[in-house]
Amino acid sequence: MAEFVIANMAPLMFGALVLFLLFGYPVAFALAANGIVFGLIGIELGLLTPALFQALPERIFGIMANDTLLAIPFFTFMGLILERSGMAEDLLDTIGQLFGPMRGGLAYAVIFVGALLAATTGVVAASVISMGLISLPIMLRYGYDKRLASGVIAASGTLAQIIPPSLVLIIMADQLGKSVGDMYEGAMVPGLVLTALYVGYVAILSIIKPNTCPALPPEARSLRGFKLMLRVLTTLVPPLVLIFLVLGTIFLGIATPTEGGAMGAAGAMILALARKRITMKLLRQAMETTGKLSSFVVFILVGSTVFGLVFRGVNGDLWVEHLLLGLPGGQVGFLIVVNLLVFVLAFFLDFFELSFIIVPLLAPVADKLGIDLVWFGVLLAVNMQTSFMHPPFGFALFYLRSVAPSSVKTTDIYWGAIPFVCIQIIMVALIIIFPNIVSYGDDAQKEMQRLEKEGKGPAAVDLDSLMKQSEEEPDANKDDDKSAADLLKNLQSDGK
């Protein structure tokens, strides 16, 4: 029995974690408990040494000292302030008036506002709840199909997953050991393409089934001409300036993501003050929610660190690597299996849990197969969007259900989400087929990556061997110095 446990410690440990999660235990505590229990079993069986656990305090302190994670509370606070200061309401009302005369105009407005909120808040719950409260009753009042209306709102809210400043991209960058700025830059085009696919779906539906998304009647369009254009400018310019303040400074290299998040939080406060919509109650609620979410992330990260330390101690990383490298089809086979795995796990786990549990196991294998980790992170982030939209467990569907009127059935929300889940899967396929959709870095970086992929990159320099070589050959260095001095003397004498 002991021999069997020693030989299969890694699969047993992973299976036990899955069992804990299926029983509904909190993820952070399931991860930490699993790591500690199997660590103690490993020590008892002689597979591990007690010194392994001595590395834990240093690992946990490393989490607390990680500057990258500071961006999470900043962006969360920014999103909550903007959402509760009424920016979403103003945007939806203005863009709804702009697109009102078109069939599907309100749906287009929801999608565009979802993209703008994603680029300013990065919080899915805030986007879905705001648009569900404001847009859903209006869409139903003017004859929109219940399934289309609920699907558009839920899908547009989940754009906050992929359009920077997304929280999942910060965590993904941390887990993959890559720059948050590169991850943001790489995700920008896929996020915009996904938004365009949503718009395309509504456009096709407005032609095939015009009754599902009628235009606003003339009496509902209260703004026209110059008044409408002035309203569009005054409503759109502040969030666009904020987007540039946050993302523009990060992309231009002026600010780090953490500094960009701090500027965004300050900018959101200034916007709320300018609109005279900030109160002590709003501030307190935003700070409490930010504190809870940040603590949630750190606790999961501590739990995953304990689990990861013991899992690597029992060679779990080698077990996963052996499983995945043995797949037929090389890179393509690996990507297909991984995306199917993430898609299925997204039925039960949210993006935080997937990022902390699955990504650290997959990243080393992807790196060995020569897959660019920023590209891989963006691909997984698009796939993880489906975790918010999966019937029956998608969180975006639960958020929408909590604010939807009683006339909208839960089955309407589920059926409305399915076409958009299919569009998200199409986006995953597009990224695999056209990898250049994910583009980041300057021209020099891109050329270096291309050469490295083709095996033509510069040879790695071993600094240790160079140091040893210089220590072993002091006489040669002295001779070089002497010959250089002699040469200088000769030149001076020739000059005289």
Query: Closest Cα partner for 91 from 232, 277, 198, 221?
Result: 232
CA within 13 Å, CB half, 206: 18
Indicate the range of 153-157, 251-255, 375-379 predicted with least confidence: 251-255
Between the alpha carbon of residue 304 and those of residues 5, 35, 293, 318, 387, the distances in Å are 22, 8, 17, 18, 20
Name the pTM for this structure: 0.76
High-pLDDT (> 70) share of the chain, %:
86
Cβ atoms 272, 78 nearer than 8 A: no
Rounded to 5°, the CA angle 107-109-111 comes to 70
Q: How far apart are CA 160 and CA 75, in angstroms?
A: 11
Q: What local confidence, expressed as pLDDT, does residue 237 receive?
A: 81
Pick the range with the lowest mean pLDDT from 51-55, 134-138, 304-308, 471-475: 471-475
pLDDT higher than threshold 80 for residue 264: yes
**Could you tell me the two tokens for 39?**
């660590």
pLDDT for position 179: 85
pLDDT at 464 over 50: no
**CA–CA dist 419, 361 (Å, integer):** 31
Instruction: Tell how far CA 138 is from the center of its chain.
Output: 31
For residue 461, count other CB atoms closer than 10 A to its CB: 7
| Contacts for 426 with CB less than 8 Å, ≥ 6 apart | 197
pLDDT at 210: 84
pLDDT class for 459, splitting at 50, 70, 90? very low
Average pLDDT over residues 136-150: 85
Give the span between the Cα atoms of 419 and 423, in whole angstroms: 6
Helices of type H across 314-350: 316-325, 330-345
Phi (first) and psi of residue 143, to 5 degrees? 90, 15
| Mean pLDDT value of segment 322-335 | 82
* DSSP-assigned letter for residue 103: T
Chain segment 184-205, per-residue pLDDT in tens = 888 889 999 999 999 999 999 9
DSSP character string of 227-265: HHHHHHHHHHHHHHHHHIIIIIHHHTTSS-HHHHHHHHH
pLDDT at 122: 63
> What percent helix, strand, coil does the chain show, rounded to 5?
80, 0, 20
Task: State mean pLDDT over 464-493.
Answer: 50
- Tell me how far apart the alpha carbons of residues 324 and 365 are, in angstroms, rounded to a whole number: 7
**Structure tokens belonging to residue 118:** 């994603």
485 vs 118, residue with greater confidence: 118
Query: pLDDT tens across 346-401, in order?
Result: 777 777 778 888 888 888 888 888 889 999 999 998 888 887 787 777 778 888 88
Between 181 and 88, the more confident residue is 181
**262: number of Cβ within 10 Å:** 20
CA distance 27 to 150: 30
Q: What is the C-alpha to C-alpha distance for residues 248 and 241, in angstroms, rounded to an integer?
A: 9
What is the full DSSP assignment across 428-491?
HHHHHH-GGGS--S-HHHHHHHHHHHTT-SPPPP-HHHHHHHHHH-HHHHHHHHHHHHHHHHHH
Alpha-carbon span 150 to 136, nearest angstrom: 7
Tens of pLDDT, residue by residue over 268-325, are 888 888 878 788 888 898 899 888 888 888 888 888 888 888 888 888 878 887 888 7
**CA 361, CA 67: separation in Å to the nearest integer?**
23
CA dist., res. 358 & res. 346, Å (int): 11
Residue type, 72: I
Q: Is the pLDDT of residue 466 over 50?
A: no
